[in-house]
Structure 1
């Protein structure tokens, strides 16, 4: 295949960075532009030898194919220059769709669990067959002779409607973006539209009533722990070392599988991976080995030892995610005290899920709530972190000046959760302890 020069406008965006790495790995020349502020996607791009420039229309040269990030309009100077030169300009979704339609593709969608499931499927398939993958946390890998393309399909602002994959995994349908969707029916409608674009089959979590209401044109195989599920996990054993279970497709036993991951959601994610592998006739013994090798995704239950405590960093920012993270911590550390430090992400989200946050966080032994990480675009309304604290018996507020409250814990698990800048609280806690 002819090699090209790709120029990414907004190359540091998580999806854009992933796609840039895929196209680079396939032997193309890749470069791009972005703001100068450092981002977590930057290091891996530079390490791969991908050049990052400041925005400048003079960067655009004849012969380039320009990929336009979602945040940029046609009036952006580099995009304007590309059109003046008559270059091919592709939107980010159109560029991803090109990969989707060129391979056996699997798009992973769901309000929760899509990054973890995408990473797990990518890891497993890549070890067995040539696979390219795009994960929503900025990780991407291209393989020149790839059989599979595994990608994260995000429902936010209906981004996933750009894609027509062979298979879809749907982990759940939840009302997770109150700033875009009107209600749960609105979200389900989007998933149904996406489902109608799938070519071969859908794998969906069997306990989700909204996923059972989908009206689509391909078979839906449900996975879970119920007798009625097509792909089933039975005889589940959860220990501090991970989980082991027997997997069945209807009455056919696929094998006994072990994962070194925690929480019931991890078992479900691995079942979805097994389902795809089974349908594509991938060797189950190989799959078994690779599932046991997988160690997780950054910002999902990432552990560090801080003094005599276990510190866990997790992106959880919805009640169901918080519940899953605390469940995972209880499985791995059944005898330790579980302390949650939660940063509410946006005023609108806190208002929408106030009771849900309270119910999920109450499963920890002690809870600390930081000030809200707000968006400059949103109306603050009349909600505050104190409204959440009032609903959780064993909770109190915490901020950058009172992080020493955490120094009273020993041999405990301290979980920092949130989608804003929760890392600054983690850094402050480590700094205080190290002093």
Structure 2
């Protein structure tokens, strides 16, 4: 398929983080872009600000006439869209070229030197660090991100068409649509068991992805894949050593197959983020970027929205917002916050994401959340799923063993947060808790 054959790109689910990056990319590159999403959000607001028309009711009558021409329009949809979606079925049934988001990303990246970051955890942070390195070091890469970069206030870092940086998503086996030249695998923990019925099916999918890599695979040490390895505080092809914390930043040395760079400074909290930084460094360095230039770029990296993002940081109150929605991610943010605030009480305000994930990892969630001093638990966010009988936040709460724990509705949330004497409060989850963050921040600052 040749993209220059199409003038119009129509997105179903345009407000998704991956979909919106593609929409921005095509809009900036002169295509007519429009789309549908279920609800308005800051992401759809941002797309409308650059001239993209969006509607929020599933009705083909809302689609502009020029997007109903099958010869000049390609339609892109996300797997989260239900099969009964009226607009999607109209396009399927009327001769349109209809692609999943991953297929479109595959088309874009097929003719580029593609640098792809895969993994059940860490891929958004790693790909965003890599995109920033490539931008700062003048490689003229275009990066499609799964989060909003604080440096660019966007999930798209624009550059040329010779190099692409992409997040390679294992959900729905999407990453198998890509043609990676240099790739990284950060982790292969069990997840998405609604797609992968068992762990070995997930591993097989990662192995299939690894086999698609045409130049070099870089993997976290210990994973069952062949390639250059990376690690922290243990020997690998690329590894960080001599870690120190100074005024909230990490300082460390990086050993590579050919040289050593001393006193690299990185401002994201948590050793898991140092690991992500080493992965991005390894990819960029293998591509040919100098270690000195990479170190300078790492120093200026500001992070990603909803990845250990400080919303309030005073002597009496710290409010942190994070996307963590899997037990492994909860463990990582808990480790990071204890590292930063070893003497303080920490409250977790957590919204479970997906009934299936809550069911599959209930005991692990219980263990992870039990590490906090206090827990507030919201209802499970369903996303694309129907409820599962017996799988509720009340059921999950019984598995949590910490001194103070309770359920909360969204309406009661700010009251419960204010009642807590914990200095550090963390808003955690991948559902619509992210839409509550600004209101909670203003309430705690007394601005509402």
Q: What TM-score do you get using the length of structure 1 for normalisation?
A: 0.87
Contact 2:131 2:157 in 1 (8 A): no
Equivalent position of 2:213 in the other structure: 198
1:340 aligns with 2:348: yes
How far, CA to CA, are the matches of 1:344 and 1:152 in structure 2?
23
How far, CA to CA, are the matches of 1:61 and 1:388 in structure 2?
49
| Shift in alpha-carbon separation, 1:296–1:143, aligned structure 2, 3 A | closer
| Shift in alpha-carbon separation, 1:432–1:288, aligned structure 2, 3 A | closer
1:4-28 deviation line (CA, Å, top 9, x unaligned): 6232231323222111212233x32
Segment drifting more, 224-233 vs 159-168: 224-233
Tell me by how many angstroms 1:319 deviates: 1.0
Contact 2:261 2:292 in 1 (8 A): no
The number of equivalent residue pairs is 425
Task: Return the match for 2:428 from 402, 412, 417.
Answer: 417
Q: What TM-score do you get using the length of structure 2 for normalisation?
A: 0.85
Contact 2:77 2:98 in 1 (8 A): no
Contact 2:354 2:381 in 1 (8 A): yes
Alignment of 1:228-247 (within 5 A): 228-247=235-254
Segment drifting more, 111-120 vs 297-306: 297-306
How far, CA to CA, are the matches of 2:93 and 2:361 in structure 1?
44
Alignment of 1:109-124 (within 5 A): 109-124=118-133
How far, CA to CA, are the matches of 2:399 and 2:427 in structure 1?
20
Unaligned runs of 5+ in 2: 149-153
Tell me by how many angstroms 1:257 deviates: 1.2
Q: What's the Cα RMSD here? A: 2.9
1:231-250 deviation line (CA, Å, top 9, x unaligned): 11111113442211111113
1:375-408 deviation line (CA, Å, top 9, x unaligned): 5513233554354345313231131336423324
Task: Return the match for 1:13 from 16, 20, 34.
Answer: 16
SS at match of 1:105: strand
Tell me by how many angstroms 1:104 deviates: 1.3
How far, CA to CA, are the matches of 1:3 and 1:293 in structure 2?
40
SS at match of 2:352: coil
Task: Return the match for 1:316 from 324, 341, 346.
Answer: 324
Unaligned runs of 5+ in 1: none
Contact 1:132 1:140 in 2 (8 A): no
| Shift in alpha-carbon separation, 1:142–1:323, aligned structure 2, 3 A | closer
Contact 2:8 2:31 in 1 (8 A): yes
Equivalent position of 1:262 in the other structure: 269
How far, CA to CA, are the matches of 1:346 and 1:104 in structure 2?
35
